[in-house]
Amino acid sequence: MSVLEIKNLRAGYGDLVAVSDLSFAVQQGELFALVGANGAGKSTLLKSIVGSMSVKSGTIIFKDDDITTVADYKRIQAGISLVPEGRRLFTSLSVEENLLVGAATGRKGPWNLKSIFELLPIVEKLKDRNAGRLSGGEQQAVAIGRSLMSNPDLILLDEISLGLAPIVVEQIYAALPDIRNEGLSIILVEQDLSRTLKVADKIACLLEGHLVLEGRPSDLTHQQITDAYFGHSIASFGTSSNGANS
């Protein structure tokens, strides 16, 4: 069953169209990885899904309901949660208070303070600390915990490894299997292709706002993926001016 279905989505800022002609579906329990260069439209797509920006046209179906024009807070209540680029914690609150804000939807499920502390032990150690005084990696762990506290059916992770030390990234990625065990669907935005390929069930590549490649990592070659990522595959669609004919 698909938990999310995007049809012909077009979104942007004023006259700028950041994503267009986007159609894809995410299945229940699937880890759907979205890759693409800076400015490809990944964050715009995630913001459109959670409703923090309105779309220009197209349809967003979540668990069989058309949520295209539904308010953002209602989407959170329905079970969509975003861990935004840059974390955006409430910096005047403690770590524990940040987690409790995440629980404000009142949705039932496996995630509560106790299970978050088991999943991310570092968060328990920091629970009384002010969220504004954490390192980037600590903040990221708290942001993921806060998002899970809403017991979502679909969690959107926007560049959770950006700017973090490799060891911290390893710890955060190590939590993904346990998150998935709870049946959650995940859209993971990541710039590191090799890390993505290790964890993803499905991978989709955005290039200049268009979906240029989608498939299971085992069905795609590394060359196909890097070509889509960097735009070389455009040549085979005849829209490139560089004359490549791969």
Ligand X SMILES: Nc1ncnc2c1ncn2[C@@H]1O[C@H](COP(=O)(O)OP(=O)(O)O)[C@@H](O)[C@H]1O
Where does this chain bind Mg ion (CB under 5 A)? 42-43, 85
Q: Which is nearer to ligand X, 22 or 131 (CB)?
A: 22
> Out of Mg ion, ligand X, none, which partner does residue 18 contact, by CB within 5 to 8 A per kind?
ligand X
> Out of Mg ion, ligand X, none, which partner does residue 145 contact, by CB within 5 to 8 A per kind?
none
Q: Does 13 bind ligand X (CB under 6 A)?
A: yes
Minimal distance, residue 49 CB to ligand X, in Å: 12
> Out of ligand X, Mg ion, none, which partner does residue 16 contact, by CB within 5 to 8 A per kind?
ligand X
Closest among 16, 6, 215 to 228, alpha carbons compared: 215
- Helical segments of the chain, H only: 42-50, 72-78, 95-102, 113-119, 121-125, 136-148, 166-174, 176-181, 193-199, 222-230
Minimal distance, residue 93 CB to ligand X, in Å: 26
Residues 18-47 that bind ligand X (CB under 6 A): 18, 36, 38-44
Q: CA 71, 72, 75: angle at the middle one, nearest 5?
A: 95
Minimal distance, residue 95 CB to ligand X, in Å: 27
Minimal distance, residue 161 CB to Mg ion, in Å: 12
Q: Residue 230 contacts by C-beta under 8 Å, 6 or more apart in sequence?
A: 37
Q: CA 232, 238, 241: angle at the middle one, nearest 5?
A: 70
> Out of ligand X, Mg ion, none, which partner does residue 215 contact, by CB within 5 to 8 A per kind?
none
Q: Which amino acid is present at 192?
A: D
Q: Which is nearer to Mg ion, 32 or 111 (CB)?
A: 32
Q: Which is nearer to ligand X, 18 or 49 (CB)?
A: 18
Residues 42-81 that bind ligand X (CB under 6 A): 42-44
Dihedral class, residue 134 (left if φ above 0, else alpha if ψ from -120 to 50, else beta): beta
* Count of residues that interact with ligand X, criterion CB under 6 A: 11
Query: Strand order in 57-62's β-sheet?
Result: 16-27, 2-13, 57-62, 65-66
Tokens coding 184? 């959650």
Minimal distance, residue 21 CB to Mg ion, in Å: 19
Give the 3-state secondary structure percentages of the chain, helix then strand then coil, rounded to 5.
Answer: 40, 25, 35
Cα–Cα distance measured from residue 184 to residue 242, given in angstroms and rounded to the nearest whole number: 43
Q: Which is nearer to Mg ion, 109 or 136 (CB)?
A: 136
Interacting residue ranges for ligand X, rule: CB under 6 A: 13, 16, 18, 36, 38-44
